[in-house]
Amino acid sequence: MTDLETPVATPPRTGALRRAAPALLGYAAVRALGLITLAVWSAANGKSAHTLLTARWDSLWYTRVAELGYGYEVRLPNGDVHSNLAFFPLLPWLERLVSALTPLSYADAGLLVGTLASLAAAWGIFAVADHVYGRRAGVCAVLVWAVLPIGIVQSMAYSESLFTALAAWSLYAVLTGRWLTAGTLAALAGLTRPVGAAVVAALWVAAITSFVRDTPTQRDTSYVPNRSAPHPDGAPAWRRALGMLLAPLGAAGYVLWVGHRTGGGPLGYLDVQAQWGNGFDGGYAFARFVGDKFTSFPSALAGLGLVVGVVLVVWLYVTCLRQGQPLPLLVYAGIVTALALCASGYFGSKPRLLLPAFPLLLPLAVALSRLRTPRSALVLGGVAVASAAYGAFWLNGTGPP
């Protein structure tokens, strides 16, 4: 049997890092290539790669939260208010902690947290893919995630890597029946980004499904419920229930705190996001944005690229369904994708918002894992070079990633 055909047992903890080592080494190599390319490109343009990674766009807002706390805002000429309450607190908390324990500035602390979190995310993605499809597919999944065109964001002082790490390990904990760990990590993911709701939903769906499986049919009159009996995954019912209770605490706690602080009630956070131009309109604004690209020839090429990108994302999700991915992965990827594509603002950032949706990459990882190693290495190496060049070009541009 091949690695893809053999059911994968959970590896012992002592051997987990050794099992993941090829994936992590490959990931580090891809990220090093991206950073070297960025440094060379930035120097040629008279810019600082360090500044691009730590002190522009969202990273500045996180740094201000770490340094000044919440309450900082920028008033725009049209009357809109951009408040730092839009940014969830876990990354700036970690920046403040690292800065207090080391000589690093808040910005450099954010870069360190992002770097370590990206490695943790790569390991988590490997763990999930290895558990579902085998070790070879796990290595390919990590490398595919690393070589994404917007992979340079994984090396920035942004929250995507931290969120992806927490989400991946929470999903792995769900898949392996570690419900308290899954709930705790889901709560932390909810303190990192608004899309933490996707992790909560994945855990809840998995837990509810497990309870339904435990429920006897009406014809089974001999069944006597035993609430203390463990679930087939080894977890008793109370652990699943407690995991469900823990999962939403992070996101709910922060959203309710923002509502109390702003006086906007439970939905006050949505008002803060609306001031930034963010909202959920089912994709109407994004569709108009894409449609407007076809009004002239040069921009029509960009519009065509956007259409192809959306079709590719949808195709990948349909392929995930056809491959029979575990339900928690489908729920998580579906919600992350829907929130990214159907949000009403910052259209240029949508590829970055899709970065945590790593289950979408598993069909590609499985396909690559079936190739001979030299061929898959050639494909991934070529894409890594192109991704490094694109990342350097992107960050040296004017708009935020």
Q: What is the DSSP string of 38-106?
A: HHHHHHHTT--HHHHHHSSTHHHHHHHHHHH-TT-EEE-TTS-EEEGGGS-SHHHHHHHHHHHHSS--H
pLDDT of residue 219: 43
Number of structural domains found in the chain: 1
Q: Is residue 222 part of a domain?
A: no
Per-residue pLDDT at 189: 98
| Domain annotation covers residue 114 | yes
Phi, psi of 230 (to 5 degrees): -70, 155
Predicted pLDDT of residue 11 = 52
| Residue/partner pairs of 201-205 with CB below 8 Å, 24 or more apart | 201/331, 201/332, 201/335, 202/170, 202/171, 202/174, 202/328, 202/329, 202/331, 202/332, 202/335, 203/170, 203/174, 203/179, 203/243, 203/244, 203/247, 203/328, 204/244, 204/247, 205/327, 205/328, 205/331
Gap between the Cα atoms of 40 and 125, Å rounded: 30
* Nearest CA-CA partner of 333 in 129, 185, 134: 129
Does any domain span residue 289?
no
Give the domain range for residue 108: 16-215+235-276+372-395
Identify the segments of the chain with pLDDT beneath 70.
1-14, 215-234
**Predicted local confidence at residue 234, as pLDDT:** 57
Question: How many Cα neighbours within 13 Å face the side chain of 93?
Answer: 8
Would you say residue 103 lies in a domain? yes
In a domain, 229, yes or no: no
Give tens-digit pLDDT for 89-138.
999 999 999 999 999 999 999 999 999 999 999 999 999 999 999 999 99
CA distance 5 to 137: 11
What residues contact residue 313 under an 8 Å CB cut-off, 6+ apart?
337, 341, 354, 360
Place of tokens 């109407």: 284
Half-sphere exposure of 209 (CA within 13 A, CB side): 14
Phi, psi of 219 (to 5 degrees): -75, -20
Residue 81 included in any domain: yes
- What integer pLDDT is reported at residue 240 of this predicted model? 94
Q: For 343, list phi and psi in degrees, rounded to 5.
A: -75, 155
Within-domain flag for 45: yes
Contact 105, 157 (CB under 8 A): no
Q: Is residue 68 part of a domain?
A: yes
